[in-house]
Amino acid sequence: MSDTPLYLNPDLDLNKRLQDLLGRMTIREKISQLWHDAPGIPRLGIAAYNSWSEGLHGVARNGRATVFPQAIGMAATWNPDLIQRVADVISTEARAKYHAALKRNGKTDIYQGLNLWSPNINIFRDPRWGRGQETWGEDPYLTGTLGSAFVRGLQGDDPTHLKTAACAKHYAVHSGPEKLRHGFDAQASLKDLHETYLPAFKALVQDAKVEAVMGAYNRVNGDPACAHPYLLGKVLRESWGFQGHVVSDCWAISDFDGPHSYTPNPTESAARALKEGCDLECGCRYTHLLEAHEQGLITEEDLDRALTRVYTTRFKLGMFDPPERVPYASISPDVVGSKEHADLAYEAAVESVVLLRNKNNLLPIREDIRSMFILGPTATSVEVLLGNYYGMNGKLTTLLEGLIGRIPEGVRTEYRTATHVLHETEAHTSWIFKEAAKTDVVIACMGITPHMEGEEGESIDSAENGDRTRIELPEVQLNALRQLSQAGARTVLVLTGGSAVALEEVAELVDAIVFVWYSGQEGGRAVADVLFGDRAPAGKLPVTFPKRTEDLPDFQNYGMAGRTYRYSEVEPLFPFGHGLTYGQVELSDLQVPEGLQEDQSLQISLQVSNPGPHDITEVVQVYVRHTEAPFLVPLQQLVGFQKVTVPAGSSSTLGFEIAAEQLKAINEDGEAIWLQGPLELTVGTCSPGQRGLDLGATSPLTARIAR
């Protein structure tokens, strides 16, 4: 008879293996495994394991890795297939680095594990929030669709083992202000919860089977998110059927007896979090669980429930199986930063570029130009490639390097910084703008940087604990553009950033604007290829660009009234879903049913034609509006989209099936209701509204469907 413990037998039922292992642990050992930095248990052959690792847009904070565009940039691709392939590469590199760390050290340190605490699927409700760059934008459906693709890529498709364990964060109602996050009580109605703040989490739990959910720092309607009876118990576990584990944001449970004043001491903080469903703590309060157990505040059953969830993930990651039984255990470190992965980073960067404005079709830049001037504070910046939560790579290509590598030989080219990103300097620079204006085209590389937005404590320039107080382009940069305009320059503005920038005056000073986000290691090459027409821009805004800061509601108000394209009645400068390309498709022959029965999905089709001489890649977007709702509903609601390439001179037929759930409206009690009365449908290349048409969007198709 074999002496192998049951928990090490990969042929047994997982539950039997778990129960066998838990039965061998002492109370102290069980508690220690609920810490993010879990010590080893040598007598059981368990290595020390740190659960804190990051994979937001590449393996982060662990040396060399492929650096993809920041999450908000990937959101601008509107391409779920691409996002899944990116996440698959991230998990491949995480696997390679994990096994290399184990081989070298016999354990994993922080950022070396397989629990990747990504994606961040909080709704980017306000452009002042510094961490909005980590999100997938302002729309719940887009966020849920792209976030689910990311999770599938991270976790893999093996029926038994996870490639890595993804984590949906920060649950819930969390999107600034950063300086208040440790003590803030976000007040959100049941309607806003279930219409805006929770749908993406629901999609990741039910559709993508995300393995972990991270609780936020803040309170929600009085209770801390990491010990929230309604959010963790009733919604996440009971209603959605979540089977994975819940982890706290780092040191969030310490806030219970700190800024929240929710519990009287650390012991009760730990007990409350565990009892309400937080299984794993990132922080230090769970070191008090032994005291909580001795005081009768928690039971061993409470510990076993949490440990079963945490260790289910570790078993699914293959940590207790022979390497030959784990399909991902043999991934070589040679794949990290490989050419194949770099090529995918390039594709993602190209697809993330959003052409906001193109006066007189200045772009693409003509091959017959004779002179060019490149200027601006972000042209040589590595930081604007990286964003935050980033890895590093020896082949980071700045905007200047990308442009110089692409400019045809024989084109006279000069470069000057010309202006600081934020602060005025004493240098005399007015001559630079006059000289620049003498060339055929000026490429002005400007925008915001990670020094100006980010997580609490990360940003150093003009940021309030990571958040911006104003969203306009800094005055020093705006003044440089004024001088270029006065000198008569033909200017292409290449803007970096992780969130919307108010560009009302800027749009009148330049001829073309491309927004390139924080574009990753291949950003310079990708942007240059788009500017010269080797690749056409195909990105779409995942957030609204307001005209001015004053158009925004109170930052601390979590009500959705007046926010995002779904509820704001203030005309934006650049609307959600906007993005131009080199050419324009035509939409026609929209086919819709005469009526819909309750809980029936909606099937539609249309023709997409390209009358021009070049292939076009376009995102066709479907929006609905409930025209006779008896309660407040969104002005428009994205319910479907497809990214399609239409060859020159040809047409394609697109079909959409919109799930019945997407056609319901959320009432004041947070319930999804099938309404009677007409449903207004709009299919276009931008969110509905006159502003999109004024900017060059294709004329949309509309229909009214009876219910």
* Interval 183-229: pLDDT, tens: 999 999 999 999 999 999 999 999 999 999 999 999 999 999 999 99
Q: Are 119 and 153 in contact (CB under 8 A)?
A: no
Kindly report the pTM of this predicted structure.
Answer: 0.98
Residue 325's pLDDT band (boundaries 50, 70, 90)?
A: very high
- For the ranges 191-200, 391-400, 457-466, the lowest mean pLDDT is seen at 457-466
Helices (H) then strands (E): counts for the chain? 19, 24
Nearest to 129 by CA among 454, 450, 573, 473: 454
Determine the Cα–Cα distance for residues 416 and 423; give it in Å rounded to an integer: 16
DSSP structure class, residue 523: H
Please determine, for residue 459, whether its predicted confidence score (pLDDT) is greater than 80: yes
248 residue type, one letter: S
The answer to whether the Cα torsion of 305, 309, 312, 314 is positive or negative is negative
Structure confidence at residue 425 (pLDDT) = 79
Q: Strand pairing partners for 617?
A: 645
- What are the φ/ψ torsions at residue 387 (nearest 5 degrees)? 65, -140
Rounding to the nearest 10 degrees, give the CA dihedral for residues 318, 390, 143, 234: 50
Between the CA of residue 579 and those of 358, 411, 513, 565, what are the distances in Å? 10, 29, 11, 15
3-state secondary structure of 197: helix
* Across 371-383, average pLDDT: 98
Q: Which residue has the tokens 């969110």?
A: 687
Residue 452 CA, chain-centre distance (Å), reads 18
3-state secondary structure of 16: helix
DSSP structure class, residue 652: E
Structure confidence at residue 107 (pLDDT) = 87
Report percent pLDDT > 90 for the chain: 97
3-state secondary structure of 255: helix
Structure tokens at 49: 């394991």
Determine the Cα–Cα distance for residues 30 and 24; give it in Å rounded to an integer: 10
Residue 181's pLDDT band (boundaries 50, 70, 90)?
A: very high
Per CATH, the homologous superfamily of domain 6-330 is: Glycoside hydrolase, family 3, N-terminal domain (3.20.20.300)
Determine the Cα–Cα distance for residues 350 and 611; give it in Å rounded to an integer: 24
Structure confidence at residue 463 (pLDDT) = 81
Nearest to 445 by CA among 495, 481, 398: 495
Determine the Cα–Cα distance for residues 368 and 365; give it in Å rounded to an integer: 9
Extended beta strands in 506-601, E state = 512-517, 586-591
Q: Are 154 and 593 in contact (CB under 8 A)?
A: no
Q: Which residue has the tokens 């769970």?
A: 286
Determine the Cα–Cα distance for residues 484 and 418; give it in Å rounded to an integer: 11
* Across 306-323, average pLDDT: 98
pLDDT tens digits along 33-46: 999 999 999 999 99
Q: Strand pairing partners for 154?
A: none
pLDDT tens digits along 255-294: 999 999 999 999 999 999 999 999 999 999 999 999 999 9
**Residues of the chain by 3-state class (helix, strand, coil), percent to 5:** 35, 20, 45
pLDDT mean across residues, the chain: 97
CATH architecture assigned to 586-705: Sandwich (2.60)
Residue 461's pLDDT band (boundaries 50, 70, 90)?
A: confident
3-state secondary structure of 578: coil
Q: Are 66 and 333 in contact (CB under 8 A)?
A: no
Q: Are 446 and 473 in contact (CB under 8 A)?
A: yes
Between the CA of residue 474 and those of 68, 132, 330, 362, 409, what are the distances in Å? 27, 19, 49, 25, 34
Residue 424's pLDDT band (boundaries 50, 70, 90)?
A: confident
pLDDT tens digits along 46-101: 999 999 999 999 999 999 999 999 999 999 999 999 999 999 999 999 999 999 99
Determine the Cα–Cα distance for residues 76 and 79; give it in Å rounded to an integer: 8
pLDDT tens digits along 95-131: 999 999 999 988 899 999 999 999 999 999 999 999 9
Structure confidence at residue 175 (pLDDT) = 96
Question: Pick the residue with more confidence: 463 or 328?
Answer: 328
Structure confidence at residue 138 (pLDDT) = 98
User: Based on the number of CB atoms within 10 Å of its own CB, is 197 exposed (0-12), middle (13-18) or buried (19 or more)?
Assistant: buried
Structure confidence at residue 1 (pLDDT) = 40
* Across 353-374, average pLDDT: 97
Peptide bond preceding 172: is omega within 30 degrees of 0, i.e. cis? yes
Nearest to 230 by CA among 180, 120, 240, 212: 240
Peptide bond preceding 575: is omega within 30 degrees of 0, i.e. cis? no
Please determine, for residue 704, whether its predicted confidence score (pLDDT) is greater than 50: yes
Please determine, for residue 360, whether its predicted confidence score (pLDDT) is greater than 70: yes
Neighbours of 233 (CB within 10 A): 15
Structure tokens at 394: 């020896």
Structure tokens at 443: 């490429």
Determine the Cα–Cα distance for residues 56 and 150; give it in Å rounded to an integer: 10
Q: Are 36 and 247 in contact (CB under 8 A)?
A: yes
533 residue type, one letter: G
DSSP structure class, residue 620: E
DSSP structure class, residue 42: G
Structure tokens at 28: 């102290």
Angle ∠(328,331,337) on CA atoms, nearest 5: 125
Nearest to 679 by CA among 624, 637, 638: 624
In sequence order, what are the residues at sequence separation of 6 or more whose Cβ sits closer than 8 angstroms to the Cβ of residue 645? 615, 616, 617
Long-range contacts of 590-595 (CB under 8 A, 24+ apart): 590/683, 590/701, 590/702, 590/703, 592/681, 592/703, 592/705, 593/705, 594/705, 594/706, 595/705, 595/706, 595/707
DSSP H or E run through 603 = strand 602-609
Residue 458's pLDDT band (boundaries 50, 70, 90)?
A: confident
Q: Looking at the domain 340-543, which fold is it?
A: Rossmann fold (3.40.50)
Domain positions in the chain: 6-330, 340-543, 586-705
Active-site positions read 249, 453
pLDDT tens digits along 606-642: 999 999 999 999 999 999 999 999 999 999 999 999 9
Residue count (the chain): 707
* Across 368-388, average pLDDT: 97
DSSP structure class, residue 490: -
Residue 2's pLDDT band (boundaries 50, 70, 90)?
A: low
Q: Are 331 and 95 in contact (CB under 8 A)?
A: yes
* Buried b / exposed e along 456-490 (16+ C-beta atoms within 10 A): bebbeebbbbbbbeebbbbebbbebbebbbebebb
Structure confidence at residue 481 (pLDDT) = 98
Residue 152's pLDDT band (boundaries 50, 70, 90)?
A: very high
* Helical packing angle, 430-437 and 475-486, nearest 10°: 50
* Across 141-162, average pLDDT: 98
